[in-house]
Amino acid sequence: MLVSALIRRVEAAGGHAMVLAKGDAGAGAVLLVLAERGQGTRLVERMPALDGGQNWIATGPTDLSEPGALSDYIARRRRSDPDLWAVELDVADAERIAAEVLG
């Protein structure tokens, strides 16, 4: 449900979203590749917050331009969590949109 909402919101803002790894519909971690004009800028993961809500926290490799860094990281994570979702959001201000959808 969260992934579908993210995709709809990004497309409504004139961007593109692509599922890189499809997880279980009701379980699994969610990783987002925040991109602009095809260049990944950050990798964030949905994590529980102290107030009971959820936040997007930076995770994974810091240099997403390094060849294979992103795909290797996702593959390692999926070995330990086959329900993992990985979604690329290619839109201006992707981080703000992700925060809006998380609510």
pLDDT for 21-57, tens place per residue?
Answer: 998 887 778 999 998 877 777 899 988 888 888 889 9
Amino acid identity, position 82: P
**pTM of the shown model:** 0.87
State how beta strands 54-58 and 39-48 pair: antiparallel
CB atoms within 10 A of CB 7: 18
pLDDT for 66-86, tens place per residue?
Answer: 888 889 999 999 999 999 999
Phi (first) and psi of residue 91, to 5 degrees: -160, 150
Amino acid identity, position 25: A
Would you state the pLDDT for residue 103? 63
